[in-house]
């Protein structure tokens, strides 16, 4: 477990954050700019000292103000990757990686060759940082941090300085880190696509406070997350196993008591998939509908309704999973929707295509 219970004030901003998250895995700190994410990771790393509170990792106390414990930064064995790569410009890619290797303390977690292979750096070891793209520089920064043999890796918005194409270039390497290494990662972001793809545990921050924490699926149904991502990106996050695929790149997923079809080229049977079904893409019906191009139609029961400026958000229980549907107040009245009412939830396979990610490579 990573356990954090800290209080810190800097000028008018006060951070008071408490959470406990399982390790290993990717613990995502998610919130708007200025919510306290960077301050919190600096307190975990030891770059900042909390005014009060405690930080412990897997049972070892790293900081405890009440007991006078403050393990020095260099002894915490924590790797830190910033928004900017901060590579040494006079060193080659290999030289930057070897610098991290020389700083290693404790048992070796990962070797030089494995880092080079894992991050796709073999073809550019002799190049200097100014010869690299932004995505390549961040991969080198990740490699340097890993070769210091950390027991915890802090990634503070490592993709924030990259354009969309470079972010999508680096994300598969972060997938590989989560899948192949047992090093816990704290990942800071205000881009929900990154959280959706990477996180195993989500901590929501706003105004220096922890609003909620839990799995991405659990929090996708919570108003705290919906307030941060906005109505356009509100939707349920589901996890399911691939039961089969077709030649067109569609995957059939087992979900609750039924199956759905999503666009996911390259998926293999047995692969665990996480997907977000946006509330704006879900249609509700009171009975089974035939003769439509919509591939996914699942029977369910209305669990809850809430009203906001955008209309009515309907949560539908599907038997072990749930989706959200955004409808108008007039539609809610016309259908007579209320908790306990049986309904059908419909959405297109292609609507999930940009929001579905494999969590493992399968057998």
Query: What's the confidence (pLDDT) of residue 162?
Result: 87
Query: What's the confidence (pLDDT) of residue 350?
Result: 66
23 Cβ contact list (under 8 Å, min separation 6): 1, 2, 57, 58, 152, 184
Instruction: Clarify whether residues 125 and 259 are in a common domain.
Output: no
Instruction: Examine residue 272 and state whether it is found in any structural domain, yes or no.
Output: yes
CATH code, 55: 3.40.50.300
Instruction: Clarify whether residues 202 and 260 are in a common domain.
Output: no
Q: Residue 311 — very low, low, confident or very high, per pLDDT cuts 50/70/90?
A: very high
Instruction: Clarify whether residues 218 and 241 are in a common domain.
Output: no
Instruction: Clarify whether residues 202 and 60 are in a common domain.
Output: yes
Average pLDDT of every residue of the chain: 91
Among candidate residues 185, 209, 228, the one where a domain is terminated: 228
Q: Residue 236 — very low, low, confident or very high, per pLDDT cuts 50/70/90?
A: very high
Query: What's the confidence (pLDDT) of residue 351?
Result: 64
Instruction: Clarify whether residues 53 and 147 are in a common domain.
Output: yes
* Domain boundaries, position 32: 2-228
Among candidate residues 188, 205, 228, the one where a domain is terminated: 228
- List pLDDT tens digits, range 95-127: 999 999 998 887 788 899 999 999 999 989 999
Instruction: Clarify whether residues 11 and 130 are in a common domain.
Output: yes
Among candidate residues 203, 228, 253, the one where a domain is terminated: 228
CATH code, 308: 2.40.50.100
CB 246 within 8 A of CB 338: no
Distance CA 181, CA 45 (A): 20
Q: Which of 229, 197, 193 is nearest to 211 (CA)?
A: 229
Query: What's the confidence (pLDDT) of residue 352?
Result: 60
Q: Residue 354 — very low, low, confident or very high, per pLDDT cuts 50/70/90?
A: low
Name the percent of the chain lying above pLDDT 70.
97
| pLDDT reading at 362 higher than 50 | no
Q: Residue 282 — very low, low, confident or very high, per pLDDT cuts 50/70/90?
A: very high
Instruction: Clarify whether residues 289 and 183 are in a common domain.
Output: no
- List pLDDT tens digits, range 188-214: 998 898 999 999 999 999 999 999 999
236, exposed or middle or buried, with CB in 10 Å at 0-12, 13-18, 19+?
buried
Instruction: Examine residue 363 and state whether it is found in any structural domain, yes or no.
Output: no
Residue with more model confidence, 272 or 5? 5
Instruction: Clarify whether residues 343 and 248 are in a common domain.
Output: yes
Instruction: Clarify whether residues 211 and 297 are in a common domain.
Output: no
- Give the total residue count for the chain: 363
Per the structure, how many domains does the chain have?
2
Query: What's the confidence (pLDDT) of residue 83?
Result: 87
Query: What's the confidence (pLDDT) of residue 166?
Result: 87
Query: What's the confidence (pLDDT) of residue 360?
Result: 60
Name the percent of the chain lying above pLDDT 90.
71
Query: What's the confidence (pLDDT) of residue 278?
Result: 93
Instruction: Examine residue 206 and state whether it is found in any structural domain, yes or no.
Output: yes
């Amino acid at each position: 477990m990573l356990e954090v219970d800290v209080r810190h004030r800097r000028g008018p901003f006060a951070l008071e954050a408490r959470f406990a998250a399982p390790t290993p895995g990717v613990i995502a700190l998610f919130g708007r700019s200025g919510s306290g994410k960077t301050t919190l990771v600096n307190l975990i790393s030891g770059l900042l000292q909390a005014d009060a509170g405690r930080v412990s990792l897997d049972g070892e106390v790293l900081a405890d103000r009440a007991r006078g414990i403050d393990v020095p930064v260099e002894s915490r064995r924590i790797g830190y990757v910033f928004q900017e790569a901060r590579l040494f410009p006079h060193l080659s890619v290999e030289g930057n990686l070897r610098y991290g290797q020389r700083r290693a303390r404790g048992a070796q977690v990962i070797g030089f060759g494995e880092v080079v292979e894992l991050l796709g750096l073999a073809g550019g070891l002799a190049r200097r940082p100014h010869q690299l793209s932004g995505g390549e520089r961040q991969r080198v920064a990740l490699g340097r941090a890993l070769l210091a043999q950390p027991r915890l890796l802090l990634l503070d918005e490592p993709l924030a300085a990259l354009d969309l194409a470079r972010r999508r270039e680096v994300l598969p390497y972060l997938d590989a880190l989560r899948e192949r290494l047992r090093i816990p990662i704290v990942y800071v972001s205000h881009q929900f696509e990154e959280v959706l793809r990477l996180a195993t545990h989500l901590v929501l921050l706003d105004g220096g406070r922890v609003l909620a924490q839990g799995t991405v699926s659990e929090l996708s149904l919570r108003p705290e997350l919906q307030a941060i991502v906005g109505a356009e990106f509100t939707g349920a996050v589901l996890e399911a196993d691939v039961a089969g695929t077709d030649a067109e790149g569609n995957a059939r997923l087992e979900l609750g008591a039924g199956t759905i079809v999503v666009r996911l080229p390259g998926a293999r049977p047995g692969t665990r998939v996480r997907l977000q079904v946006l509330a704006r893409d879900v249609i509700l019906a009171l009975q089974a509908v035939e003769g439509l191009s919509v591939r996914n139609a699942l029977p369910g029961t209305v669990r809850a309704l809430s009203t906001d400026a955008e209309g009515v958000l309907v949560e539908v229980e599907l038997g072990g999973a749930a989706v959200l549907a955004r409808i108008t107040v007039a539609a809610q009245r016309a259908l007579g929707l209320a908790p306990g009412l049986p309904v059908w939830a419909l959405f297109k396979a292609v609507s999930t295509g940009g929001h579905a990610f494999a969590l493992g490579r399968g057998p």
